[in-house]
Amino acid sequence: MSRTIFYTATTLDGFLADDHHSLDWLLTQPIDEVGPFSYGAFIATIGAIAMGASTYEWVLRHNETSGDPWAYEEPSWVFTHRDLPLAADSVQLTAAPVAEVHAAMTAAADGRDVWVVGGGDLAAQFAEAGLLDEVVVSIAPVTVGSGKPLFPRRFDLELLEVDRNRAFVCARYRVVGPRLPPD
């Protein structure tokens, strides 16, 4: 049974990127590439990918600077209202409801898991539609004060697993459901 997972790194104060979409705080951290919660082990389980426009544009900028090709073999959906350039044949742009896209992703994943890369609001949109099973975070020992938030809606989660990978505290949570506002 395919799970839908928001797998990401975050700052200790809950941001995916700073105000300028920089990941400098992340890319400078020591990490064991084959250690607990490693990206390599995770991506091997993934059959389809979704991301928001800012995340996609970050990847495009990064690839342009580094000369790297599009890194994902899996079919990928980019949520946007704009006509962004396509990085590969496996990429499609969408502004369809998340439930509709999720059904297509799950079919494409063919039993493998679905990865919501980010940003945080897009992941929370999947959660609000009842379509996000897990949040998996690697927490870097850094704060940035403000930026692009990890998961900017109210949810209860259940802690399933914790480990350490060098500088990172890694945790896996089950999405329980929306958390009602206080009275």
Ligand X SMILES: NC(=O)c1ccc[n+]([C@@H]2O[C@H](COP(=O)([O-])OP(=O)(O)OC[C@H]3O[C@@H](n4cnc5c(N)ncnc54)[C@H](OP(=O)(O)O)[C@@H]3O)[C@@H](O)[C@H]2O)c1
Report how far residue 103's alpha carbon sits from residue 76's, in angstroms, rounded to the nearest whole number. 13
Q: Smallest gap, in angstroms, from Cβ of residue 124 to ligand X?
A: 10
* Range 20-49, binding ligand X (CB under 6 A): 21, 23, 26
Q: Smallest gap, in angstroms, from Cβ of residue 7 to ligand X?
A: 8
* Range 49-88, binding ligand X (CB under 6 A): 52-55, 58, 79-82
Q: What is the greatest pairwise CA distance in the chain?
A: 53
Stretch 148-167: interaction string toward ligand X, x if CB under 6 A: x-------------------
- Interface with ligand X (CB under 6 A), residue total 27
Nearer to ligand X, 75 or 119 (CB): 119
Q: Smallest gap, in angstroms, from Cβ of residue 182 to ligand X?
A: 26
Nearer to ligand X, 30 or 182 (CB): 30
Tell whether the torsion through CA atoms of 59, 64, 70 and 71 is positive or negative.
negative
Please give the C-alpha separations between residue 53 and each of 50, 154, 177, in angstroms, as whole numbers. Answer: 10, 23, 26
Q: Which stretch binds ligand X (CB under 6 A): 6-14, 68-76, 107-115, 154-162?
A: 6-14
DSSP 96: S
In the numeric block, which tokens belong to residue 159? 């802690």
* Range 88-147, binding ligand X (CB under 6 A): 95, 98, 117-122, 125
Q: Nearest-CB residue to ligand X?
A: 52
Half-sphere exposure of 123 (CA within 13 A, CB side): 28
Nearer to ligand X, 45 or 80 (CB): 80
Task: Decide: residue 21, CB within 10 A, 0-12 exposed, 13-18 middle, 19+ buried.
Answer: middle
Angle at 150 between CA 144 and CA 153, to 5 degrees: 130
Please give the C-alpha separations between residue 146 and each of 25, 137, 163, 172, in angstroms, as whole numbers. Answer: 13, 18, 26, 24
Nearer to ligand X, 75 or 110 (CB): 75
- By CB under 6 A, name the binding residues for ligand X: 8-10, 16-17, 21, 23, 26, 52-55, 58, 79-82, 95, 98, 117-122, 125, 148
